[in-house]
Amino acid sequence: MKIRNIAVSVLRGDCAGLPALSGEVNEHTVRRACAEIISEASSRGESSVSVPAVGCAGGFPVVGSAKIVSQEILRAAREGRGSLQQILVCLDNDEYFRIFEKQVFGYLRHVTEDMAWGPYITTDIIIEIGDGIVLIERTNPPFGWALPGGFVDNGEALETAARREAKEETNLELEDLKQFHTYSDPARDPRFHTVTTVFTAKGRGEPRAGDDAKGLKIVPFGQLPGMSFAFDHNRVIADYLQARQIG
């Protein structure tokens, strides 16, 4: 099967020439050894690399080794490791071959096909300025007024995503950033299943609608209950006002 630009095969064959794991055998040493095999091949500009059942000779569980190998294959594909185009998982033992073939392909298909349908991770930010909060008018469907926010990028912390989205959509820097609540109802987003972590923060700077926002306004706390919002932001803002004991 192919994961992005890397073809993955599980082969029954001789693993001669592949490095053996020495020293303590545990999850961390197995993962490090597997990562180093792939990384070294990439750094040498090779297009193909063979990976053995790392750690199994030292007593590490075969299924555990197969899953770690799968995870490192995904990491290599996600990071786009140089000229690497093929990863061959090479097993010189019939039992290991059967286990690896089932586990590697099953794991890769689950992550790339099943998990690819979501849920997707987002952040939203309740940005306080004076006695109100910042709302943006969305340029994309679902339309309407909403809290600033957006999708978390690969390799990005939730807090980093919240600060980035706030800057992109409102031009504001965030102070006193705190997690408020997580909302995960599959129906909260009409597009697809998203899970959002909502933050509260103080806004610093000059509020200005960014590229992802058609409009921006600061709405006093007392006017929020009468408004209609995109997504489930009516509920989010109602929970926030209750927590703040406003209204």
Per-domain boundaries in the chain:
2-117, 120-243
| DSSP assignment letter at 47 | S
How do 2-3 and 149-151 pair as beta strands?
unpaired
Place of tokens 């102070």: 175
Q: Identify which has the larger pLDDT, 65 or 22.
A: 65
**Residue 206 banded pLDDT, cuts 50, 70, 90:** very high
Exposure class string for 58-90: b at 16+ Cβ within 10 A, else e: bebebebbbbbbbbbbbebbeeebeebebbebb
Q: Which amino acid is at 84?
A: L
**Residue 212 banded pLDDT, cuts 50, 70, 90:** confident
Q: What pTM does this model have?
A: 0.83
**Residue 15 banded pLDDT, cuts 50, 70, 90:** low
Question: What topology is assigned to 120-243 in CATH?
Answer: Nucleoside Triphosphate Pyrophosphohydrolase (3.90.79)
Cβ(87)–Cβ(8) below 8 Å:
yes
**Residue 211 banded pLDDT, cuts 50, 70, 90:** confident
Beta-bridged to residue 61, according to DSSP, are: none
Q: Is the pLDDT of residue 208 over 60?
A: yes
Q: Which two tokens stand for residue 35?
A: 């990562």
Q: What is the pLDDT of residues 29-81, one digit of tens each?
A: 999 999 999 999 999 999 999 998 888 888 889 999 999 999 999 999 988 86
Q: Which two tokens stand for residue 105?
A: 């392909």
Cβ(66)–Cβ(27) below 8 Å:
no
Give CA torsion, residues 52, 13, 111, 41, to 10 deg: 50
Cβ(204)–Cβ(177) below 8 Å:
no
Q: What is the average pLDDT score of the chain? A: 92
Q: What is the pLDDT of residues 126-145, one digit of tens each?
A: 999 999 999 999 988 899 99
Q: What are the backbone dihedrals phi and psi of residue 87, each rounded to the nearest 5 degrees, phi first?
A: -120, 120
pLDDT of 106: 95
Separation of first and last alpha carbons in the chain: 57
Architecture of the domain defined by 2-117? 3-Layer(aba) Sandwich (3.40)
Region at 133 (left for phi over 0; alpha for psi -120 to 50; beta for the rest): beta
**Residue 4 banded pLDDT, cuts 50, 70, 90:** confident
Q: What is the pLDDT of residues 141-152, one digit of tens each?
A: 899 999 999 999
